[in-house]
Structure 1
């Protein structure tokens, strides 16, 4: 891969990292990289070892793990905060990547005595509003759907 593409791929990856909780689709990420969707997917996979959709999904699950360990939020609240609109899709992907359900994961960490940030703190601090989630989606295939 030529080095001239890496900055464009990094820009799309950074955009995905910053906006993981928003509806993201291939068209938007490819536009950030300045490439066609198909070329973007091929180059992203070559550079990072996974497709852009898998990357965003993995990042969402990593953030969900953080929230389930540290926050006193329901699994549904965590699901929505990290950008999934379907609890079933979230739970299936979480279980696939982590090896246990989100509920089992949270309970295991709680049993170890981990402290929890009250869920109301996230809502008072505007974390939900900052996630940029809107009722509408994007065009094209949505990540995590």
Structure 2
């Protein structure tokens, strides 16, 4: 993969980071990267070690965790606020990445983490995929 492809993939990844709550799919992200959907999906997986969908859902779960810690929104409201359209799929993915259902996460006391700076909390609470070491997800 050449540097130009990596730059284009990074542009699409930046869109996922920024616009995670928007309805994003592989064809739309491939257009951002100026690639065909198949080339984009293969290149993204090769560059970042996961599919575009998996990366996007991790971003959504990260944001959902922050919203659930606040406690002022229901799990359903959080699901839709982060761009998911299916409560069942959202809950399954959340449970897979976090290790507990969103309702259990929401009801837990998160006060002990209040004094931790947001930048540190984001790294320490990042959802872990498939036995990956915490904080090893790359840039």
TM-score bracket, normalised by the shorter chain, equals 0.7 to 0.9
Residue correspondence of structure 1 range 39-50 to structure 2 within 5 A: 39-50=39-50
Q: Hey, what's the Cα distance between the residues in 2 that align with 1:70 and 1:50?
A: 29
**Over aligned residues, Cα RMSD in angstroms?**
1.5
Aligned to 1:133: none
In structure 2, C-alpha distance between the alignment counterparts of 1:17 and 1:71, rounded to whole Å: 23
Equivalent residue for 2:109? 109
1:70 Cα offset (Å): 2.2
> Residue 7 of structure 1 corresponds to which residue in structure 2?
7
Structure 2, gaps ≥5 residues long: 115-139
Q: Trace 1:6-45 onto structure 2 (pairs within 5 A).
A: 6-45=6-45
TM superposition score normalised by structure 2: 0.77
Residues 12 and 32 in structure 2, CA contact (< 8 A), matched pair in contact too: yes
CA pair 3-114 structure 1, distance change in 2 beyond 3 A: closer
- Equivalent residue runs for 1:1-145 within 5 Å: 1-110=1-110, 112=111
Query: Which string of whole-angstrom CA distances, capped at 9 and with x for unpartnered residues, describes residues 64-112 of structure 1?
Result: 00111124110011000000111111101100111100010111135x4
**Moved runs in structure 1, 4+ residues, more than 3 A?**
112-115
User: Deviation of residue 113 (structure 1)?
Assistant: 6.5
| Cα distance between partner residues in 2 of 1:94 and 1:73 | 16
- For residues 15 and 41 of structure 2, the distance between their equivalents in structure 1, rounded to whole angstroms, comes to 15
How far the C-alpha of 1:14 sits from its partner, in A, is 0.7
- Tell me, yes or no, if the aligned pair for 2:11 and 2:32 is still in contact at 8 Å: yes
Instruction: Give SS of 1:5's match.
Output: helix
1:22-75 deviation line (CA, Å, top 9, x unaligned): 111110000000000011011101111101111101100110001111241100
Q: Would the alpha carbon gap of residues 57 and 21 (structure 1) be closer, same or farther in structure 2, given more than 3 Å must change?
A: same
Q: Which 5+ residue runs of structure 1 have no aligned equivalent?
A: 116-145
